[in-house]
Amino acid sequence: MKCDKCGEKAVINMRQHKLALCKDDYLRWVPEQVEKAIQKYKMFSHEDKVLVAVSGGKDSLSLWDILHRLDYQADGMYIGLGIDGGVSYSAESHRLAEAFAERHGLKLLVVDVPETYSASIPELARRTHRGRGKPCSVCGLVKRHIMNQTAHEGGYSVLATGHNLDDEVAVLFSNTLHWEGSYLVRQAPVLEADQAGLSRKVKPLCRMYEREMAAYAMLGGIEYIYDECPFAKGSTSISYKEILNQLEAGHPGAKLSFYLRFLQAKEAGFFSQQADTHFAELHPCPTCGQPTTAPGACSFCRMF
Ligand code: AMP
Ligand code: FES
Ligand code: ZN
């Protein structure tokens, strides 16, 4: 198969875009696509100070790489979760995030949960009996809190995460299966900082297939952690991703179209009534100041 741009040997065929590319053209094409998404959804400009949440995985490291190539001001933030799982998951992802920062001369902020809060994520989950033996919900809560706080205190106008199309479509699928109106309203490439204490959140990879990001990291020589978090095994989101991959195999482009048409439907006002009630419920937590829907302190402060 030949590259559709230059006629050299193609290294990737993307049936969803009817496009095959060679290595050099692919490594140019991905940042172009990400730049288009940044512009289309008005995520940020070159004047913004962006904080990239870097987990050590292929998506967030590639995102940092791309923003750096596109000349955006992007620092990284790594959150140490204290997860071992036999593969030293946290230690290894921390090492890879540090190595990337050093190699490109970039600034990485690190918040270590066991050091800062005297307990790892699995310990916190055990102590608080949240999540029926799985630490994922506590982990999500803690990560969201730390990301918000670090971005806000560091004067970053934007917080960027490496969520890719497959992540977004799995969430959309779940929210649609359960008709979660208020979640559907809030699922977007950009979440405005319309509450004090909340930073603007963006997902520049939201239109990039997971496979495309894996290929970008591999061809770009980005060293990332292959292992998933050991607690992710058997999760519903993984089984939704498998179902969606089956759909995609028979109908190339199905995932992208599901997501883009959802965004169009939202733009057309499909879920607007839900939005009003949802945002009315937010108020600042009396302890940490971050916005919350809980009565009194936010879930993070209540947990401690
Ligand atoms: P996940 O929820 O693990 O699918 O990760 C989604 C996104 O959250 C990643 O692409 C990162 O941008 C961010 N993220 C996840 N884990 C961490 C971490 N330990 N430190 C910093 N950012 C993270
Ligand atoms: Fe948080 Fe797995 S429990 S990343
Ligand atoms: Zn080419």
Give pLDDT tens digits for 200-215: 999 999 999 999 999 9
Is residue 68 within 8 A of residue 200, CB to CB? The reply is no
What one-character-per-residue DSSP string does 17-67 give? Answer: GTEEE-HHHHHHHHHHHHHHHHHHTT---TTSEEEEE--SSHHHHHHHHHH
Q: What residues have their beta carbon closer than 5 A to ion ligand 3?
A: 3, 5-6, 8, 22, 25
Confidence at residue 274, expressed as pLDDT on a 0 to 100 scale: 58
What pLDDT digit, counting tens, does each position of 54-108 carry? 999 999 999 999 999 999 999 999 999 999 876 788 999 999 999 999 999 999 9
How many angstroms separate the CA atoms of 226 and 297, rounded?
37
Ligand nearest to the Cα of 134, by number: 2
| Burial degree of 74 (CB within 10 A; 0-12, 13-18, 19+) | buried
Question: For 153-194, where are the E strands, in sequence order?
Answer: 158-160, 190-191
Q: In terms of C-beta density within 10 A (0-12 exposed, 13-18 middle, 19 or more buried), how is residue 259 classed? A: buried
Residue nearest to atom 2 of ligand 2 (CA): 229
Cβ burial, residue 105 (10 Å; 0-12/13-18/19+): exposed
Cα separation, 61 vs 58, whole angstroms = 5
Q: Which residues line ligand 2 (CB under 6 A)?
A: 81, 121, 135-136, 139, 229, 231-232
Q: Average pLDDT over the chain, rounded to whole? A: 93
Q: What are the tens digits of pLDDT across the range 282-301?
A: 788 899 888 888 888 998 99
| DSSP-assigned letter for residue 209 | -
Phi/psi at 14 (5° precision): -110, 95
Tell me the mean pLDDT in the region 187-192. Answer: 95
